[in-house]
C-alpha cells in the first residue's frame, strides 16, 4: 500500500457522514417533517363537507391558494358576472318587447338578443365604451340594473386587485430572499464542539430586527400512535441584525439534546432540526419568517463554512457564491460528552482521529495542530 500525504482543503458542500457511507439512500429518502423550503409535509383531513373555516376566512383562503387557482377564479369571476348581467339585460329587453319588435323604443340601444346583451354587459363592466349600444331613459328597471352593475364591478375589481397585490407582497415571497445554508456543520469553537449553520439576505436589504429559533423534533411511536417530541435549542446569538451573512451557533454542552450524539450516531439517529428566522424588513415594515430543516444527513461533522466576507477599501464585500461551501477542519470524531470527558488527557487530544472515508480515501483530522489542516491519505 502506497501512502501519499498532502495538505488539501476539500469542497464538502454535499459531503457528510451519510454521503460517505454506501447505505445512505434510505436516509436521504426518509420523509421529512419540514421541507428545505420551509413547507411542512402535513396533510389535514377535514370533516366531509365542512368548508366553513375556509368560507369564514375567505381572504386568507384566497391569499394561500396557488396562482393557477387564483387566475382561474379571476377569469371565472369576470366571465360569470358578464353572463349574469347579460341575462339580466336580455330579460329586461325580452319583457319590454325589444327582442320581438324593432319599432318600439328599446331599453338599451341595439340590444335585441342575448349576444347584444352580453356585449353590453362586458362593455359596461370593463368601461371600454358602448359604441352603438347605450342605455336609454325608457326603462327604469334597466337603469337600476346598470347602477347595481357598476357598483358590483367596482367592488369586484377592488377585491381581485387587492388579493393579487397582497399575494405578490406576501411574507412567503419575501422570505425566499432570506435563506439558511443547505447544511449545518459541527466544529470546534474555543475548544467547545458547536453546531452551526449560516443565514444570509440575498436581496441585500437591511433587516430591522430578527430572532432565530431552533427546535429538535423526534417522532416516537407509542401503542400504534405517533407522538412528536419538541426540544428547544439554546443559541449563542438568537437576535440578529442581518446586514451581512451570519453564522448561528449552538454549543453542544450539558443540557443540549445533541450533547450525546456523535458522528456515528448521525448514521442511525432519526431527528430533525427545525430552524426559523422571524424578522422585520426595512423596505416594507412587514413581519416575515424564513424556515428550513436539517436532518442527520444534512449535518456535516468536522467541517466549517468558507469565509465569504472581505474588507475592501470602501466597502465590505460578500461572496454569496461561497454561501453553502464548507471545508474540512480538525475535530474529534466523538460526541461532545466524550470529548469533554477526555479533554484532560493529552494522549487522547494529540492523536489522529479519522474524520471520514470515501472514494477509497481516508481523511484525518489533526486535533493538536494549531492550524486548520486536513491531511488526505490515498489508499
63-67: long-range pairs with CB below 8 Å, 24+: 63/163, 63/166, 63/167, 63/170, 67/167
Instruction: Report the mean per-residue pLDDT for the chain.
Output: 77
Radius of gyration of the chain (CA): 32
In whole angstroms, what separates CA 202 from the centre of its chain? 14
| Length of the chain as a residue count | 379
Q: What would the pLDDT profile of 24-77 be if each residue is shown by its tens digit?
A: 445 445 678 888 877 777 776 766 666 777 777 788 888 888 888 888 988 999
What does each C-alpha distance from 350 to 91, 308, 373 come to in angstroms?
Answer: 94, 31, 14
DSSP H or E run through 117: helix 114-126
Residue ranges for the chain with pLDDT beneath 70: 1-30, 44, 46-50, 129-130, 170-176, 204-208, 224, 284, 343-379
In whole angstroms, what separates CA 111 from the centre of its chain? 53
The DSSP line for 160-210 is: HHHHHHHHHT-HHHHHTTEEE-SSEEEEEETTEEEEEEEEEESS-PPEEEE
Dist CA 119 CA 85 (whole Å): 10
Q: Collapsing DSSP states into helix, strand and coil, what is residue 346? A: helix
Q: Give backbone dihedrals phi and psi of 70, rounded to 5 degrees, phi first.
A: -65, -45
Dist CA 205 CA 209 (whole Å): 12
Q: Where are the domains of the chain?
A: 11-37+176-345, 53-171
Q: Which residues are CB-neighbours of 219 under 8 A, at least 6 positions away?
A: 33, 226, 227, 228, 229, 270
Q: What would the pLDDT profile of 253-306 be if each residue is shown by its tens digit?
A: 999 999 999 988 888 888 899 999 998 877 767 788 889 999 998 999 999 998
CATH H-level superfamily of 11-37+176-345: G protein-activated inward rectifier potassium channel 1 (2.60.40.1400)
Determine how β-strand 272-281 pairs with β-strand 246-251: unpaired
Model pLDDT, residue 198: 94
Is the full-model pTM beyond 0.85?
Answer: no
Q: Are 357 and 379 in contact (CB under 8 A)?
A: no
Q: Is 5 exposed, middle or buried (0-12, 13-18, 19+ CB in 10 A)?
A: exposed
Model pLDDT, residue 79: 94
Dist CA 53 CA 51 (whole Å): 6
Dist CA 110 CA 108 (whole Å): 6
Strands (DSSP E) contained in the chain are 5-7, 178-180, 184-189, 192-201, 207-222, 225-232, 239-240, 246-251, 272-281, 287-294, 299-301, 303-305, 309-311, 316-318, 326-328, 352-358, 361-366, 374-378
11-37+176-345 and 53-171: identical CATH topology: no
Dist CA 261 CA 300 (whole Å): 13
What's the CATH number of domain 53-171, 1.10.287.70, 3.90.110.10, 3.40.190.10, 3.30.300.130? 1.10.287.70
Virtual torsion, Cα 63, 66, 71, 72, nearest 10 deg: -110
Amino acid at each position: 500500500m502506497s501512502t501519499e500525504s498532502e495538505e488539501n482543503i476539500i469542497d464538502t458542500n454535499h459531503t457528510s457522514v451519510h454521503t460517505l457511507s454506501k447505505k445512505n439512500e434510505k436516509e436521504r429518502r426518509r420523509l421529512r417533517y419540514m421541507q428545505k423550503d420551509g413547507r411542512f409535509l402535513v396533510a389535514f383531513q377535514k370533516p366531509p363537507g365542512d368548508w366553513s373555516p375556509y368560507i369564514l376566512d375567505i381572504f386568507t383562503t384566497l391569499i394561500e391558494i396557488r396562482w393557477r387557482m387564483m387566475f382561474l377564479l379571476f377569469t371565472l369571476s369576470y366571465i360569470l358576472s358578464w353572463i349574469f348581467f347579460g341575462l339580466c339585460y336580455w330579460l329586461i329587453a325580452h319583457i319590454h318587447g325589444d327582442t320581438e319588435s324593432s319599432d318600439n323604443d328599446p331599453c338599451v340601444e341595439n340590444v335585441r338578443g342575448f349576444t347584444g346583451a352580453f356585449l353590453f354587459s362586458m362593455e359596461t363592466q370593463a368601461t371600454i365604451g358602448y359604441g352603438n349600444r347605450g342605455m336609454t331613459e325608457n326603462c327604469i328597471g334597466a337603469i337600476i340594473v346598470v347602477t347595481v352593475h357598476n357598483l358590483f364591478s367596482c367592488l369586484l375589481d377592488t377585491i381581485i386587485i387587492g388579493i393579487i397585490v397582497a399575494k405578490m407582497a406576501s411574507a412567503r415571497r419575501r422570505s425566499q430572499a432570506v435563506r439558511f445554508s443547505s447544511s449545518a456543520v459541527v466544529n470546534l469553537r474555543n475548544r467547545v464542539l458547536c453546531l452551526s449553520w449560516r443565514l444570509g439576505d440575498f436581496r441585500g436589504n437591511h433587516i430591522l430586527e430578527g430572532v432565530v429559533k431552533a427546535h429538535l423534533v423526534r417522532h416516537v411511536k407509542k401503542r400504534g400512535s405517533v407522538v412528536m417530541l419538541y426540544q428547544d435549542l439554546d443559541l449563542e446569538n438568537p437576535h440578529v441584525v442581518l446586514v451581512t451573512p451570519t453564522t448561528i451557533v449552538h454549543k453542544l454542552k450539558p443540557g443540549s439534546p445533541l450533547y450525546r450524539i456523535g458522528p456515528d450516531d448521525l448514521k442511525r439517529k432519526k431527528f430533525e432540526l427545525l430552524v426559523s428566522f422571524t424578522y422585520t424588513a426595512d423596505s416594507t415594515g412587514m413581519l416575515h419568517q424564513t424556515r428550513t430543516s436539517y436532518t442527520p444527513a444534512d449535518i456535516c461533522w468536522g467541517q466549517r463554512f468558507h469565509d465569504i466576507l472581505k474588507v475592501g477599501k470602501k466597502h465590505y464585500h460578500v461572496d454569496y457564491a461561497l454561501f453553502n461551501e464548507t471545508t474540512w477542519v480538525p475535530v474529534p470524531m466523538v460526541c461532545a460528552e466524550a470529548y469533554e470527558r477526555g479533554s484532560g488527557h493529552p494522549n487522547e487530544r494529540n492523536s489522529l482521529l479519522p474524520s471520514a472515508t470515501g472514494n477509497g480515501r481516508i481523511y484525518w483530522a489533526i486535533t493538536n495542530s494549531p492550524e486548520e489542516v486536513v491531511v488526505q491519505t490515498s489508499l
